[in-house]
Chain A
């Protein structure tokens, strides 16, 4: 069994997430892309845990999940507050601060 496939898959997911953050315009979708990046990291960590025969990577994946959950709470609260004022979650509409 080769572990390389899992690493390549994780790298592809990470890239999709990173590109998504850069090109998508809805704050919720951008945020989902960030979560995709975090989860690709989890896949990488678990694969490396298997490859190196240590359990650290699996434990780290749990840490990442907990932190990601905390991030969701904070992030959605911030996005909600701006949505309730503007009735739009587009990050292009949030353009008062520039130059």
Chain B
């Protein structure tokens, strides 16, 4: 007689909603007539993600372990799930934008047609759109939401793949500059598969050391038998796999290439949501499974945080492409986030968890906004992402330049923006745990990084516009909504962050 595992459907509702929408999306792709498929797919994907968001909000305050101990639905998981679902819905709106590109979509019509072939040139000007991206992105969002709630290394691995595989595909689906996009997909895929192999080997070693992959069993094994070499080795490999996903230096080499090559809406999605998911998993692994063996990972995280901040800030200075520059900025931000991870004390006290969760929310919103602005500024061959093309943009389109300026200031961490509140929170949490040398490095790195954000603002406002400069497209309804929401939220989280900080504080609990 096999006992059925306890399954709290209510606690799983957000996941069921999103995965359900993704499955419906696949069916629509197969059966719905092509002419009217696009609006239906967008609607299904949005209903799924927003439904998932509403479910997480309704579940707020819960703390339980379900699915035979494989999933932990606690405050931290729900906060991060809500963040992922909300940011995912915003990114899906960017996917759905049809007013900006003359061919009415940022995605290739038929990915199977070789780039540059006669058929490809024929399709490049047609207004046919392909809609596989919506179910794929919905599956990725579902995987991310599962990732932050997984209480078991095996579930974590499966979720990692469920979120990664669709991302590899959709980063290769750009309509313009297809060679770059395909190259980005190959690089992302090969390095991603390499990193998940490391995660998996770590899982196997931890299983060998403790006889289980449940996070709670690993913690108890840590307490009972002490931490042996096999377990430390396993932890190191697991962390490598996760740091890769979070694009932390020295595991960051894919980031600039993939951010530049992927279609910009996909870059926005990846930059915001994957980061939230990866840090959610890192926090859970380190604090639930290895919280009692802090000495094993604290020095490691300390080191990679410094490397990440320095690499991101210094290499960001030398970039001439805005998307690459933002990729290095995301590497630097990953370092700042690790500062917050170190701000969580033994046994989970300290404000590190709440601060990191708030930072992830603020960073995600700003990042989606900044990439949304990037999709507006275009030349004949798609987006004009070279820095020189942005010279004098304020004269051409004052509103675009002002919104871009706001997001860049937020990324730099200037007061009265979301970025400042987030940085302040993580730095304070780290200082409370005595990591002040790290915070010192972080402040220096912030100052260096501020230079390359401000350089763009100076370029936009104080340089003469180039004669054959880019045009600023008039966004359709989806992008307008995204810009309005992200700009408002960036300001609101900077001016009046109290209620959201409180929410993060109350949600900052792990069970499991």
Chain B nearest CB, measured from A29 CB (Å): 11
Instruction: Return chain A residues, CB-CB under 8 Å to B115.
Output: 85
Alpha-carbon gap, A58 to B118, bound state (A): 50
| CB <8 Å contact, A74 and B190 | no
Alpha-carbon gap, A98 to B208, bound state (A): 40
Instruction: Return chain B residues, CB-CB under 8 Å to A75.
Output: 168, 189-190, 193
Chain B nearest CB, measured from A96 CB (Å): 5
| CB <8 Å contact, A85 and B114 | yes
| CB <8 Å contact, B185 and A37 | no
Q: Which of A30, A71, A97 contacts B183 (CB 8 A)?
A: A97
Instruction: Return chain A residues, CB-CB under 8 Å to B114.
Output: 81, 84-85
A16 at the interface (CB under 8 A from B): no
Q: Which of A48, A64, A78, A82 contacts B169 (CB 8 A)?
A: A78
- What 1/0 flags go to A82-99 for Cβ under 8 Å of B? 101110000100111111
Instruction: Return chain B residues, CB-CB under 8 Å to A85.
Output: 114-116, 178-179, 182
Q: Which of B116, B184, B201, B213 contacts A97 (CB 8 A)?
A: B184
Which parts of A32-62 form the interface with B (CB within 8 Å)?
34, 37-38, 40-41, 44-45, 47-48, 51-52, 54, 56-57, 60
- What 1/0 flags go to B194-238 for Cβ under 8 Å of A? 100100110111011001110000000000000000000000000
Interface centre among A30, A37, A82 (most CB of B within 10 A): A82
Instruction: Return chain A residues, CB-CB under 8 Å to B116.
Output: 85
| CB <8 Å contact, B211 and A54 | yes
Alpha-carbon gap, A27 to B165, bound state (A): 17
Alpha-carbon gap, A38 to B178, bound state (A): 31
Alpha-carbon gap, A34 to B193, bound state (A): 7
| CB <8 Å contact, B260 and A97 | yes
Alpha-carbon gap, A56 to B68, bound state (A): 14
Alpha-carbon gap, A98 to B211, bound state (A): 44
Alpha-carbon gap, A71 to B182, bound state (A): 17
Q: For residue A38, which residue of chain B has the nearest CB?
A: B197
Q: Which of A34, A38, A52, A63 contacts B208 (CB 8 A)?
A: A52
Q: For residue B111, which residue of chain A has the nearest CB?
A: A81
Instruction: Return chain A residues, CB-CB under 8 Å to B157.
Output: 63-64, 67
The size bracket of the interface on B is 35 or more
B60 at the interface (CB under 8 A from A): no
Instruction: Return chain B residues, CB-CB under 8 Å to A51.
Output: 208
Alpha-carbon gap, A96 to B184, bound state (A): 9
| CB <8 Å contact, B208 and A27 | no
Q: Summarize A's interface: helix, strand, loop or mixed.
A: helix
Instruction: Return chain B residues, CB-CB under 8 Å to A31.
Output: 190, 193
| CB <8 Å contact, B194 and A21 | yes
Instruction: Return chain B residues, CB-CB under 8 Å to A56.
Output: 207, 211-213
Instruction: Return chain A residues, CB-CB under 8 Å to B261.
Output: 96-97
Instruction: Return chain B residues, CB-CB under 8 Å to A7.
Output: 208
B180 at the interface (CB under 8 A from A): yes
Instruction: Return chain B residues, CB-CB under 8 Å to A97.
Output: 180, 183-184, 187, 256-257, 260-261
| CB <8 Å contact, B168 and A78 | yes
Q: For residue B211, which residue of chain A has the nearest CB?
A: A52
Known: A40-B201, A44-B205. A71 touches B212 (CB 8 A): no
Interface centre among A54, A78, A82 (most CB of B within 10 A): A78
Alpha-carbon gap, A97 to B185, bound state (A): 12
| CB <8 Å contact, A48 and B207 | yes
| CB <8 Å contact, A74 and B189 | yes
Alpha-carbon gap, A73 to B261, bound state (A): 22
Instruction: Return chain A residues, CB-CB under 8 Å to B256.
Output: 97
B64 at the interface (CB under 8 A from A): no
| CB <8 Å contact, A77 and B169 | yes
Instruction: Return chain B residues, CB-CB under 8 Å to A63.
Output: 154, 157-158
| CB <8 Å contact, B211 and A60 | no
B314 at the interface (CB under 8 A from A): no
Q: For residue B210, which residue of chain A has the nearest CB?
A: A52
Chain B nearest CB, measured from A78 CB (Å): 5
Alpha-carbon gap, A52 to B161, bound state (A): 27
B2 at the interface (CB under 8 A from A): no
Instruction: Return chain A residues, CB-CB under 8 Å to B168.
Output: 74-75, 78
Known: A57-B207, A74-B189, A81-B111. A38 touches B169 (CB 8 A): no
Q: For residue A51, which residue of chain B has the nearest CB?
A: B208
Interface centre among B184, B201, B213 (most CB of A within 10 A): B201
Instruction: Return chain B residues, CB-CB under 8 Å to A40.
Output: 201
Q: Which of A21, A44, A54, A70 contacts B204 (CB 8 A)?
A: A44
Instruction: Return chain B residues, CB-CB under 8 Å to A77.
Output: 169
Alpha-carbon gap, A54 to B213, bound state (A): 12
- A-B residue pairs in contact (CB < 8 Å), sample of 16: A27-B190, A34-B194, A44-B201, A51-B208, A52-B208, A60-B203, A60-B207, A67-B157, A74-B169, A82-B183, A85-B115, A85-B178, A91-B186, A97-B180, A97-B184, A99-B318
Given contacts A27-B186, A30-B190, A85-B114, 10 further A-B contacts (CB under 8 A): A14-B197, A18-B194, A34-B190, A44-B204, A64-B157, A84-B114, A86-B179, A95-B183, A96-B180, A97-B183
Shortest Cβ-Cβ A-B pairs, 5 listed: A37-B197, A48-B208, A97-B257, A44-B204, A52-B211
